[in-house]
């Protein structure tokens, strides 16, 4: 019998039906993977499970009895807690305060019992294998440690249902392995776990069951042992994706960018490469390789200590200078660095191009909308309206807005830093198709990616970085995953 079940759940927002009669069952001691493209309704269902949203129709069953979560505290009291990709904790509080926020132990006088709280927090942290000082400020911890604090908080309220929403997105390989061990511990404790991830290797590694949503509707559920990756893809997108990476005619033209001797005091050293019209140049490396730091310097976010671009010594001083030279950058963290979530979609798209939509210092709204509509249509943006807040869109559609913003500046070089991070397989295929179109139109593309299939499937050439330095440059033909990993890890190739 499921600990928690949803039946016939529907939820609508102005102009959008986010959920249409969906079902979901979570069982004790098992991991259920919730699978679906961006916009399938996964985030909405999590907010209903945690009491943030109320369903328009349907039933929530706890141990078979109908219940309701009219607010977040009601869900928490019922034993439902969520651990998000971006941990929802408080940086200025201590670890112990975060763990026991809202249910701190009290003295007989009604005051917080700090000694007991720190001792109990230490016990909870030990249960999840975290050697963290309960009195440390949360802001001083890394992302992986913050996830462990969130799990310790779930244990402190004796959660029966633990929701993990893209928990590995910002973790290293070692931290991901530790999270897997922690999930096994939670299963052994009888917790029902809802696991949301776009990574099929993770889903098949840890999930016992699956549930698939598509376009806000329930598609299917079952045991992982009875399904294949192709089956899940077909259910997710309503069609079979034989190849995520599109075949494309490669018409590589003249050189459009030359970087020589580019160095930074702490992040990278002696970087040199060229980029040609119509080319996709892949950058691969492990965590700490310096790839993103290099791209930020090429866009003028940080300043190199030496080096030249197109023969000019440290030519790019700031992002405005880079945009003027036709170089744009789509960052890995699109939410914090690539867009302004509270602003409307059309305003995000036109922000770097206001010179095209203004006259004599005054913005022309009709021209802003026309420019935004042009690129939103080109990228097949899925939104209720262009004046909708960007933050209301799915992750894949937010990525499209960030790309549209820079395409509107008519660049000659576009840098895509982890362009498909955190988006589903269907959206990945769309982004790859669009990258191929950009290259076919003559745009030069730099793609930073940690996904080996993406690097091998999309790149014309690949540069591998390790500890801030280039350690290899390879043509696409004959390049293997083993060769990439060896170069990135500093392992000498066998003779």
In-domain check, residue 438: yes
In-domain check, residue 28: yes
- 295 and 206 share a domain? no
Measured distance CA(197)–CA(168) in Å, rounded: 8
- 180 and 206 share a domain? yes
- 366 and 455 share a domain? yes
- 284 and 393 share a domain? yes
Q: Which of 205, 237, 269 is the last residue of a domain?
A: 237
- 232 and 289 share a domain? no
Torsions phi, psi for 6 (to 5 deg) = -115, 135
- 109 and 211 share a domain? yes
- 263 and 411 share a domain? yes
Measured distance CA(162)–CA(249) in Å, rounded: 47
- 197 and 156 share a domain? yes
Q: Which of 175, 202, 237 is the last residue of a domain?
A: 237
Closest-CA residue to 33 (of 166, 215, 231): 166
Q: Which of 207, 237, 267 is the last residue of a domain?
A: 237
- What are 203-208's contacts with CB under 8 Å, separation 24+? 203/33, 203/35, 203/232, 204/229, 205/180, 206/31, 206/180, 207/31, 207/32, 207/33, 208/27, 208/30, 208/31, 208/32
- 403 and 461 share a domain? yes
In-domain check, residue 130: yes
- 384 and 483 share a domain? yes
Name the pTM for this structure: 0.58
Measured distance CA(304)–CA(307) in Å, rounded: 7
Residue 356 is given by DSSP the state G
Specify the 3-state DSSP secondary structure of 54: coil
In-domain check, residue 245: no
Residue with tokens 């299963």: 187
Closest-CA residue to 278 (of 436, 403, 400, 456): 436
Question: Which residues, in sequence order, are CB contacts of 41 under 8 Å at separation 6+?
Answer: 11, 18, 19, 22, 213, 215, 216, 217
Domain with residue 305: its CATH number is 3.40.50.300
In-domain check, residue 250: no
Task: State the burial class of residue 380 (Cβ atoms within 10 Å of its Cβ: 0-12, 13-18, 19+).
Answer: exposed
Q: How many domains does the chain have?
A: 2
C-beta separation of 280 from 228 below 8 A: no
Q: Which domain range does residue 384 map to?
A: 255-489
pLDDT mean values, one per 10 residues, the chain (495 residues): 95 84 96 84 92 94 94 89 72 89 86 91 83 90 80 80 81 76 88 88 92 90 91 71 67 92 91 95 86 92 86 78 89 70 83 77 80 80 81 77 83 90 71 87 92 87 93 89 81 60
In-domain check, residue 393: yes
In-domain check, residue 248: no
- 335 and 480 share a domain? yes
Identify the H or E element spanning 446.
strand 444-448
In-domain check, residue 247: no
- 326 and 364 share a domain? yes
């Amino acid at each position: 019998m499921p600990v928690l079940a949803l039946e016939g759940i529907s939820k609508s927002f102005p102009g959008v039906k986010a959920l249409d009669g969906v079902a979901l069952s979570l069982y004790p001691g098992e991991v259920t993977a919730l699978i679906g493209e961006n916009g399938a309704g996964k985030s909405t269902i999590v907010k209903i499970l945690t009491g943030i949203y109320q369903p328009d129709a349907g039933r929530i069953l706890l141990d078979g009895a109908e219940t309701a979560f009219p607010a977040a505290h009601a869900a928490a009291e019922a034993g439902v807690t969520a651990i998000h990709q971006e941990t929802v904790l408080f940086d200025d509080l201590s670890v112990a305060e975060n763990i026991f926020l809202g249910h701190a132990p009290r003295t007989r006088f009604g005051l917080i019992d700090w000694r007991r709280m720190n001792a109990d927090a230490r016990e909870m942290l030990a249960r999840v294998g975290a050697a963290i000082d309960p009195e440390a400020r949360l802001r001083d911890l890394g992302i992986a440690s913050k996830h462990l604090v969130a799990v310790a908080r779930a244990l402190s309220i004796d959660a029966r249902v633990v929701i993990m929403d893209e928990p590995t997105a910002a973790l290293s390989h070692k931290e991901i392995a530790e999270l897997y061990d922690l999930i096994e511990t939670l299963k052994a404790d009888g917790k029902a776990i809802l696991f949301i991830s776009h990574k099929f290797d993770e889903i098949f590694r840890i999930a016992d069951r699956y549930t698939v949503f598509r376009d806000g509707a329930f598609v299917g559920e079952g045991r992982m042992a009875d399904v294949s990756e192709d089956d899940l893809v077909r259910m997710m997108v309503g069609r079979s994706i034989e190849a995520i990476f599109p075949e494309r005619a490669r018409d590589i033209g003249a050189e459009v960018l030359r970087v020589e001797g580019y160095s930074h005091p702490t992040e990278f050293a002696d970087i040199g490469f060229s980029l040609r019209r119509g080319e996709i140049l892949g950058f691969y490396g492990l965590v700490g390789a310096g790839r993103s730091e290099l791209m930020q310097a090429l866009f003028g976010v940080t300043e190199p200590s030496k080096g030249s671009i197109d023969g000019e010594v440290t030519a790019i001083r700031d992002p405005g200078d880079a945009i003027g030279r036709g170089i744009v950058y789509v960052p890995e963290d699109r939410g914090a660095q690539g867009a302004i979530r509270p602003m409307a979609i059309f305003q995000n798209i036109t922000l770097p191009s206001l010179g095209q939509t203004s006259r004599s210092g005054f913005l022309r709204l009709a021209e802003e909308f026309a420019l935004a509509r042009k690129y939103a249509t080109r990228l097949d943006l899925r939104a209720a309206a262009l004046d909708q807040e960007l933050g209301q869109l799915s992750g894949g559609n937010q990525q499209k807005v960030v790309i549209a913003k820079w395409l509107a500046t008519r660049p000659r070089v576009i840098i895509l830093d982890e362009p498909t991070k955190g988006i589903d397989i269907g959206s990945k295929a769309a982004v790859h198709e669009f990258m191929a179109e950009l290259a076919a139109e003559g745009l030069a593309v730099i793609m930073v990616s940690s996904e080996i299939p993406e690097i091998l499937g999309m790149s014309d050439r690949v540069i591998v970085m390790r500890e801030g330095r280039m350690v290899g440059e390879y043509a696409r033909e004959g390049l293997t995953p083993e060769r990439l990993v060896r170069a990135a890890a500093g392992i000498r190739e066998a003779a």
